[in-house]
Structure 1
């Protein structure tokens, strides 16, 4: 379990994290979301003792990470996949980490096999692709067989098979009763992996709830419409209260604020032919964008 209470961090005049409190429980995958600069990476660094908090506390299984007698067996973390000496092989890198905790070399071979790196274990990490580097970082996180996993963007650079492998791995680890904290900007993948979501905005917690509850905040269903008379139908729908439309071409648009049944009745009333009428439920991406609309620190012009 990871617990933060009133956690804060300043870098000079810059407030990175302010009064953050949460509990990340075992047996589930907790997604950690937020715009760039929201404080996610800082919070993760504070959790594993890479930075000292300005205020508040964060503990892992009831104690500070730096007070653990065997940190790798307590927490497995992937915060920077590039944090490997480029001249070392994957096997040598993991054996060096294992030696600090008395972990046998057979465990190194196990995680190399588990992460799909056994065939390239003797190659230098400096020649690895981004995806292979991510796999090596995950192997290092798994090395001590920890009860807590903290992974920052672990699927970055992975191909679709690799992304699916990470998803299944994290679901399996959570199913064993481990605590899993996962950061990612891939909303579709987070929706399939996480049970619970914490959202940060400008250093503060703006949402902390089960993923189904978060998704429900994204609003009602959207309706995809295709018609040879899309412009006339759109004009009629815009006269209805609460309806908004997003054009997707001359004959297609998406409507919100109206159900598929209501839209179908409106089309029939005006004698408008429909070629498509497809309801689409709210998504995690919809909910996330709604939550963080006013929390984005770095915006493009």
Structure 2
């Protein structure tokens, strides 16, 4: 009989296995390319995955007490006994995921973890499982607490999130073309390539998980353009091959900024405002980068996927 642990193990082995197959194929196809395949990116992603599996054994999570509080004060008790209820859960989870993902780019405290996911300078399937070791400690799952408050059991909410993340695995590639009408509704590899790009036109785009409906609704959808090829990684690229540097460089940077802040408000601002913010206006937020690049076609300001 399959337990949840066995299912998780099988999924992990499948995801890693497929990503390694892709890596071997790309290594061969890019052998004589100006930008050959970089296996260091794969090893860092594997190190991140292994680290998160170990961290999962520790009873440390800011989201756990928040989920418990939401469940104790729930206004309903939801039973998933119909297709309609499952569909509503899916839409509700997509809505929460959109705002979780948007906040992960908008608020530097959450970005310090999420930046790890955007650190690969090449986009491959292994990028999908480089998520950052400190996500559990920052309590980012709290963005899904409204579903628990509405009466969905916490384990169901987390399982639904796991399916969402599993869907996104296949989005992390450069070889799937645009998918026609599906681009209008679903998150596709083309839409997700834009999300991982550091081009000024592409910053702060396509936050959806399975769908891009909320991106279109809230003005954060951007289409991939042939005349502006995606450049992957952070706007200030990560060059280190040391997994510890990749995992913690943004936390170290945040700590330094807080330590050098001249006031409590400035220190708090470093934590809650977008990455790249500086009190004197000399930073590299998305807004600042677009002001310095008037040719950028897109003007929706919300945070940035690269520092």
Same fold (TM over 0.5): no
Instruction: Output the TM-score relative to the length of structure 2.
Output: 0.22
Q: Identify, as 1 or 2, the structure richer in strand.
A: 1
Which has the larger Rg? 1
TM-score by length of structure 1 reads: 0.23
- Structure with more helix by fraction: 2
